[in-house]
Amino acid sequence: MSRTRATDPRQTKAISVTDEPAYISEFRGAMLARGLSTHTRNAYVRDLIRCETLSPKPLTRWTDSDVLACLGELSRTDMTARTQARILSSLRQFFLWQVSTDKREDNPCEGIKTPKLGRDIPKDLSEADVEALLSAPDTSTALGLRDKAMLEVLYACGLRVSELINLSMEQVNLNAGWLQITGKGNKTRLVPLGEYSRDALENYLTYGRGDLVAHLKAGNCQAVFLTAQGGFMTRQNFWYAIKKYAKIAGIDEALSPHTLRHAFATHLLNHGADLRSVQMLLGHSDLSTTQIYTHVATARLQALHEEHHPRG
């Protein structure tokens, strides 16, 4: 693990492609001008490069037959329908850009249907498992106080892991009990902390973070949750931490930081929250994205009915 200290939030780097075609470089620039994130731009480029390896023709000369042949080849490699759909979307965006810049007259993806997708149900984590996970960190240490606060905030606020690890001191208002979160598309939302996460965060800021700053001389770093080196955390840092605490808590299922975001939404719905409120708290731009959690809640209720009802 790197011993360097990041005093600014970790940023995703644009991928480098050897002998990248000029049209892909131009497409990169167009995506950047549209304000797409580095993560999204990288995904598009990876997909386009992958498609090019499946055909002797450059993308600029592809027809609908070439697109269909590419999807067929991807299907034969056992690639999931969801991944095929994503790659088709990348091709669509590339050809739409070509048409909009008068580099070609047609979009060869226009008449091609997206592969039919099944609905992925998020992993369900019981409230008892969440309680065990939140109790796992050793709060007698500064890093334990930090990890306790991170888990409590993640579950109480339903944050994306990037929103959690990049949280800065200016985004926290303990007196009011709110976090000001900047999510996807640079959209800002206010998220209430709740009593338990507020207490855990206050304990960490009072008794844990100050020790890390003083010991590591990281006073110039505005990260709320400091690493042992005194900088902003990476996604991997926290991913390893949550795996460790899941093991301590006796949770056998594979967990990720996103599992607690799913649990946040599902448990709110289980306790009577309305879908629109959950959408706002999660920072979803589309209500249909949030509706997946109603399936989780319904499945949970059905399982409880089957287990406990005398005629289940």
| Active site residues per annotation | 160, 184, 258, 261, 284, 293
Residue pair 105/93 in contact by the 8 Å Cβ criterion: no
What's the rounded Cα separation, in Å, for the pair 288 and 207? 42
Q: Could you tell me which residues come within 8 angstroms of residue 174 by beta carbon, excluding any fewer than 6 positions away? A: 193, 198, 201, 202, 205
R_g of the chain computed on alpha carbons? 23
Residue identified by tokens 């796992």 is 136
Residue 105: HSE in the Cβ half-sphere, 13 Å Cα cutoff: 0
290 token code pair: 């949030």
Q: How many residues does the chain have?
A: 312
A 10 A CB-CB count for 211 gives 15
> Measuring CA to CA, which residue among 238, 227, 244 is closest to residue 261?
238
